[in-house]
Amino acid sequence: MRRITRTIHLACAMAMAGVLLAGCGLLGGAKNGKGAWAGMDMQGAAEHADGMFYATVGAINPEIEWVHRATTTGSCDVTRYWTVMTVVSEQRRGNFLGVVERHWKASGYRIRTVNPSKDMPTIIATSRDGFGVRVSFGYKGQAFFEVTSPCVDESKVAAPTKVANGRMYEGKIPTPNVRSDFWSAETSVPGPTASS
């Protein structure tokens, strides 16, 4: 009976710790009295997310074309989304993800998940300051990036100020349609790819 009681108490304590950590955002960072990231609002978080994305695509060589996709806000967080318009062949996706993963590791990001799926590979990481970042491949091999902030102060969020480096699209963004001699090639490149 004592063993069962101890097990129940331990389970309750672990559940309570989980609730408390979830309430704190799990992502860390300095907090103010409201439980939000100290001194940062949603607009500041969106701009920080933009900077993380621009640094990531800046590390990809040869350059890829991308467009802004969307911005969403939660009760205290903001997420920016981007779509890659460059065709990244199935044979080059591992190289693409390898470049991104190495950049994130060099930037101090913690790699949380690497899904080596042949059709829809994904890497998810967290920056030192608690921002979540993801790169994934979807339908027709289109690559997507997203960056999500930790909990911050509520504010309005403006659209990104930096213009996409590719074509602009009215309405729905099409599947990848920009060819690259390197990224679109249907031959493998020897060398490191994303970890598995």
pLDDT tens profile 119-146: 899 999 999 999 999 999 999 999 999 9
In terms of domains, do 22 and 101 share one? no
Confidence of residue 2 (pLDDT cuts 50, 70, 90): very low
Q: Residue 145 in contact with residue 125, Cβ under 8 Å? A: no
Average the pLDDT over 31-55 and give the result.
80
Provide the number of structural domains found in the chain.
2
Flag whether 170 is in a domain: yes
Confidence of residue 16 (pLDDT cuts 50, 70, 90): very low
Flag whether 35 is in a domain: no
Confidence of residue 191 (pLDDT cuts 50, 70, 90): low
pTM, rounded to two decimals: 0.78
In terms of domains, do 26 and 52 share one? no
> What is the pLDDT of the chain when averaged over all its residues?
83
In terms of domains, do 16 and 113 share one? no
**Coil/strand/helix, residue 140:** helix
In terms of domains, do 20 and 52 share one? no
The pLDDT of residue 33 is: 37
Q: Which domain holds residue 122?
A: 40-196
In terms of domains, do 18 and 87 share one? no
In terms of domains, do 3 and 73 share one? no
Letter string b/e over residues 171-194, b meaning 16 or more CB atoms within 10 A of that residue's CB: eebeebeeebebbbeeeeeeeebb
Instruction: Write the CA distances from 32 to 41, 74, 151, integer angstroms.
Output: 12, 19, 11
